[in-house]
Amino acid sequence: MQNSILTICYIIASVTFILGLKMLSHPATARRGNLIAAGGMLLAVLGTIFLYHDEAGNALHNYGWIFGGILIGAVVGVLAAKKVKMTAMPEMVSLFNGMGGACAMLISIVEFNHLMHAVPEKWTIYPPLSALGKSGAPFHIPIGELLIIVLGLIIGTISFTGSIIAWGKLNGRIKDFSFRGQHIFNILLLLIIVGLSVWLVCSSAEPVRFLLTVIFYSILLLSVVYGIFFVLPIGGADMPVVISLLNSFTGVAAACGGFLYNNKAMLTGGILVGAAGTLLTILMCKAMNRSLLNVLIGSFGGSAQSGTAATQGAYKEISISDAAVVMNYANKVFIVPGYGLAVAQAQHACHELEKILTDKGVDVKYAIHPVAGRMPGHMNVLLAEADVPYEQLLEMEQANEEFSTTDVVLVLGANDVVNPAAKTDPSSPIYGMPILDVQLAKTVIVNKRSMKPGYAGIENDLFFQPKTSMLFGDAKKVLQELIAEIKML
């Protein structure tokens, strides 16, 4: 009876996951959708703790350890989420994603050890799939279970180590690293992992338990190495794609755990995360006009430099007062947010500037590039925190249709996503990447701290065009000064 109630709890939780994911598609319902999905997860966790019984009728025990772990995790998670700055949100997402991969990895290790403890010293993992167990009774080797354990181990480990490296690169603790032939090394390493896994699951020999254990932990160690070298050479401009891809890995690893335990909620959640992460990865690659393979082996965004840097001319600056006049008397203004806006924590000042201009009759909109910032949707989250109306956020395709009729474009900390070299310079590493065509506007004002290249390490041709003016300084301070000047006009 209790297991039947637990199954109902899992079904309800699965429905809340699907409903919550659907509601996350719009900012107006995203918060409620997140709470609904969290409520479903809470129901699944509590149901498992209090209602689960194994085949022998035994319930869970060690409640002190269980609730102690939950309490510690809850306190750490709440404090971390409360204190994190918007600039560090990509690192937190990557770190939390890595914890999911670590969980799947540990589940595989624990279940493999259980499996090894249950079988004799010498056993067969090939049809007829039976051997004598410790009790002398026939033991049927669960090849399907072993396959899921190995898959969860590989995918979870790669997700964990890759996410930790991504976290380190995003916060500057780990630098880009590559060596000659690294991609070949990665491919060979992956082939060895796959080969060992196939041998472990499908060998026709009768290996001893010790050898199988050595092979299993060799796969674990090689997966750790692969996860590290898989992410290390990938440059900053591709980190949003990497985070999305690793997120899908974690989902697939969690789904393996759902198969392993026949847990409907875990399976549904893993499939949703894996599918959503995969689709997002595909969409972001499309937004960059590159294949996923090109992202993974291209090392784009590391130390690449544009080939046109030597031929660029001088740039011109604009004062705060002149910028205020130009924006105050414009009919249409576009704001292009970038990572510099997040660094300065200037989203609220940006929203205030938008409201002041709107009150003066200026049509103000935001142009959002799919890979702006350090994670998928970074700019959307940033502006949502400042209560910017969702209707004012235009995707790249919509914004590009309106730039030709725009009087002023204010670029706040964005760099690579507005670089015309993506269309004009075949030697540029970003050539072919869709960008925001801000150069079509009548006037472009770019706010940056300095003339240093962006995160991709590429010079921006836009800064040297005649219609572009540079407004140097911290984004928050510049916006506050602009607001003060416009109020006096």
Angle, vertex CA 382, rays to CA 432 and CA 406, nearest 5:
55
Contacts of 21 by beta carbon, 8 Å cutoff, 6+ apart = 33, 37, 272, 276
Looking from the CA of 437 toward its CB, the CA atoms found within 13 Å total 14
Long-range pairs for 27-33: beta carbons < 8 A, 24 or more residues apart: 27/380, 27/384, 27/390, 28/390, 30/384
**What are the DSSP E strand ranges found in 33-144?**
130-132, 138-140
**Per-residue b/e over 296-330, b at no fewer than 16 CB within 10 Å?**
bbbbbbbebebbbeeeeeeeeebebeebbebbbeb
Looking from the CA of 63 toward its CB, the CA atoms found within 13 Å total 7
Catalytic residue among 176, 322, 387, 416: 416
Contact 362, 333 (CB under 8 A): yes
Alpha helices, DSSP H, located in 208-263: 209-231, 239-261
Q: Token digits for 174? A: 């780990």
238 catalytic residue (yes or no) = no
**Residue of 381, 399, 368, 376 lying closest to 284 (CA atoms):** 376
Longest dimension (CA), the chain: 92
Active site residue ranges: 416
